[in-house]
Structures are given as C-alpha cells and as structure tokens.
Amino acid sequence: MDIRPLAATALLLLSTATAWTQERETPNVAVNGFGTFGVVYSSENEADFVRDMFAAEGAGHSDRWSPKVDSIAGLQVTASLTPRISGIVQGVVEQSYDGAYKPALEWAYLAFEPVPDLHLRAGRILLPTFMTSEYRKVGYATPWLRPPQEVYRLVPVTNVDGVAARYVFRINDFTNTLHATFGLTDAKMPVIDETGSRDTMVTESRDGVTLSNTLERGAAALFASFTSARLTMEDFNPFFDAFRQFGPEGEAIADRYDVDGKRVDIYSIGARYDTGDWFLMGEWARLDSETFILNSRGWYITGGYRYRSVTPYLTIARTRIRSSTSHPGVSQPGSEELDAALNEILGGQPQQRSISVGLRWDFALNTALTLQYDYMDLDDESAGVLVNPQPGFRRGGNVSLFSAALDFVF
C-alpha cells in the first residue's frame, strides 16, 4: 500500500482542525524554530567533506571554506487541537542534492493519545534510529557541532511517511519509552563524475520497520534500536544487468551486490550519563546488507565538562567494513571494465577513525558558539566519508577539518 499521501493528508487535517478550533477560541498553537550558521575548512582540496550523502557540495574541493556543510534553518508549528489530538509541522531549509538551499518538509503528522502515555502518529514522522534522532538537526540540542559521521552516516534518512506508536511506562525510578514506526521514503542523492557533471540518483526504501527503546533513570539512559527496510536503487540496474550477460557466474555477482528490493538491517545501541556538570555518551551501530553497500560497523564515544557557559568536549570514533571490499571478477574475457568498476564501488565504502576536539560557548540565552577540530585518519585505499573525489585525490592519509557554528533556538 502506498502511504505517501499520509503526509499531505496530515497537513490538510491539521490546517482544517486548527481553523475549526480557532472559531471556538480553543486552540493552543506554538511556534518554535532553530538554526545553525556554520563554516568548515578542509585540508583536503581534492575531495569534499559533507554532512551527509544527500548533499552535493562541501568543504574541500568545492569550497575550501564552506558554509553549506552545517548551515540549516528550521521552523516548527505545534497545534494542540483537543486534549487528545495534536499536530506538528516542521520544515527545514538545508543544502539539497543539487547544491542549492531548498525548503523541505521534515515532519507533518497528526498525533492521537487514546489513553495516557500511548501516542499514535500518522503522516511524515521521525525515524528513531539513533539516540539523538529526535533533535539530530538541531545543533543547539546536541553535544557536538555535528553528529559523528562514523555512526550517523549509516542511516542519513531522518524521517519516513507512515505510522508510529510510542508508549511510555514507569516502574519506580525508571522511565521506559518504546517507539515503533512503519513507513517508506524516497531520497535523492547527487552523482558527480570526475568532469564535474552532475546527475541525480533516487534511493527507495519500502516496508521500513523501526523499533527503538530508551530506558532512563536519573542521569543515566540506555538506548537500543532495530531498523529493517527493503532498499532499491534502480540507477544501478543496467550496471548489474551487464554482469548477468556473462551467464551464471555473472548472475551470481549481480545477485550478490545489486540493490533491488534487498533487505538492509541496522542495529544500534547507546548509553548516556549526564550529571549537568559533565557528560559521557556513546553509540555503536551495525549495518548488514547483501548489496554493494556491504556490512558496516561504527561507534563513537563523547565526553565533556560544563564550566559555567563553556563546555570543552572530546570525541573518538571509528567506522569500518566487515566484508570484502573486492570481488574476484568474472573469469571470462570482456568483463575487465565491469570488474574494475565494481571493485571501485566496493573499495569506496568509508573506513576511517577520527578524533574531534570542541569547545562550546553559551554566550547568550538559547544561543551558542561552537568551535571544533576533526582529525580524520583514512584507512588504506579508502576515501573515508569524503565524497566527490577528483583525479588527483589519493585514498588513505589524513584530513583536518576546522569548523565554527552559531546555533540558536526560539
């Protein structure tokens, strides 16, 4: 069943219900916003550092000093229509797949609370894959200048069109939140060749199921989630169809690596301890895929100390592939170019470790300035999380990033 119209339906119902309640002078409507104005410098000028794989340009080759990596603006309208029914619409303006800044609908859903602590949602809803998913794009609410890509790049999608249920229950001093979602999403990704020509590739996710659970007690919190979805990237079909022309051997390679309705599973666990004066948190994520995306693992640990309005912090992170990044090739003449192209794709999966040092200054109400230095050590023959490599780019080595961001909420 195609449930994409749910987002449009949620918007229509929200506007209609708000107008209905306004006539009776009973609505409770709140408007909030957030934003980040950032700039990033990269020491690598033959490739780009971007916030996620949906962005076309970043720091490095496109711009040595790039404002496009972290800058974003968002506005959220929350309407409490009745004691049990509410609606939320959140829009963001950030860099799109073509390099331009465009508005996008992040959330648009109706929420119903049939009984206390049970919340049902329908429309464009949050995808709760990671510990900070709910405020992932709100720089002011996160402990870093940007989420560690070693983990968060595994699932760059932040919402789905579908339905969700959240149930909160309490036992003594413990609070447990169970979250389940079902939905689909389409995402456009940039494709840039060595000549600079741009194209667009669409990634389709269907039958996506996410289960997440957060257990909290005082300053401590434990998080776990599981996501499974069928992934399709039709732009690669002609490439793998070419392998199939080589008979059973080529068909076996195509069936192993193509992305045509294949299941992708993501597991994530995390923990956080925040006393107010200091905090320590970390996450580990695992992606299993019988496609050219391969099987990935990533983790990070972050710690920081708040001294008045200043918070220094440190993050160490790692991501790597847990399956072969090359294939033996077809043992038939004429397949050399295909074999080389597939090995280039497999070898392009990110593998790196990084150390990040940052300093946050909350110099005004609901406003903070954050400075961050990242040292990325790329694995041999890997481009790490860098994109848009140029002919002169050499895999491996290391990259330094210098970032500054002004975050605010209202």
Secondary structure (H, E, C), 45-88: CCCEECCCCCCCCCEECCECEECCCCCEEEEEEEEECCCCEEEE
Mean per-residue pLDDT, 92-97: 95
What is the percent of the chain where pLDDT is above 70?
92
Tokens of 86: 């509410």
**The domain that contains 312 carries what CATH number?**
2.40.160
* Parent domain of 277: 113-409
Q: How many structural domains does the chain have? A: 1
For residue 344, pLDDT beyond 70: yes
Does residue 106 form part of some domain?
no
Listed range (97-101, 322-326, 368-372) with the worst mean pLDDT: 322-326
Local confidence band at 283 (pLDDT 50, 70, 90 cut-offs): very high
Radius of gyration of the chain (CA): 22
- Let me know if residue 75 belongs to a domain: no
Q: Is the per-residue pLDDT at 15 higher than 60?
A: no
Q: Look at residue 29 and tell me if it is in a domain.
A: no
Provide mean pLDDT across the span 83-102: 94
What's the whole-number mean pLDDT along residues 1-19?
45
Is 324 domain-assigned? yes
Q: How many CB atoms lie within 10 A of CB 343?
A: 15
The mean per-residue pLDDT over the stretch 237-260 comes to 94
- The reported pLDDT for the residue numbered 196 is 60
∠ CA 159-270-120 to the nearest 5 degrees? 40
pLDDT above 70 for 313: yes
Name the token pair of 25. Answer: 């002078």
Please give the full DSSP string across 326-367, using - where no structure is assigned.
-----SSTT-HHHHHHHHHHHHTS--EEEEEEEEEEEEETTE
Per-residue pLDDT band at 325 (split at 50, 70, 90): confident
Mean pLDDT score of the chain, rounded to an integer? 92
Amino acid 20: pLDDT:
44
- Rounded Cα distance, 160 and 203, in Å: 13
Look at residue 5 and give its three-state secondary structure. helix
Strands 118-126 and 101-115, bridge-based pairing: antiparallel
Q: Which of 20-24, 25-29, 97-101 has the highest mean pLDDT?
A: 97-101
Structure token pair of residue 346: 């497999």
Identify the H or E element spanning 243: helix 237-244
- Low-confidence winner among 13-17, 230-234, 271-275, 339-343 (lowest mean pLDDT): 13-17
Residue 19 lies in a domain: no
Q: State mean pLDDT over 334-346.
A: 89
Tens of pLDDT along 37-75? 999 999 999 999 999 989 999 999 999 999 999 999 999
Return all residues near 259 (Cβ < 8 A) that are at least 6 apart. Answer: 231, 232, 233, 236, 291, 292, 293
pLDDT interval class at 24 (50, 70, 90)? very low
Least confident of 81-85, 126-130, 162-166: 81-85
pLDDT value, residue 16: 44
Matching residue, tokens 């970390």: 282
What pLDDT, on the 0 to 100 scale, is given for residue 22?
46
Residue 404 lies in a domain: yes
Q: What is the pLDDT of residue 26?
A: 64
162 vs 122: CA distance, rounded Å? 6
Whether 220 maps to a domain, the answer reads yes
Choose the weakest-confidence range: 5-19, 244-258, 359-373, 382-396. Answer: 5-19
pLDDT of residue 19 exceeding 60: no
- Please check whether residue 50 lies inside any domain of the structure: no
Q: Assess whether pLDDT exceeds 80 at residue 367.
A: yes
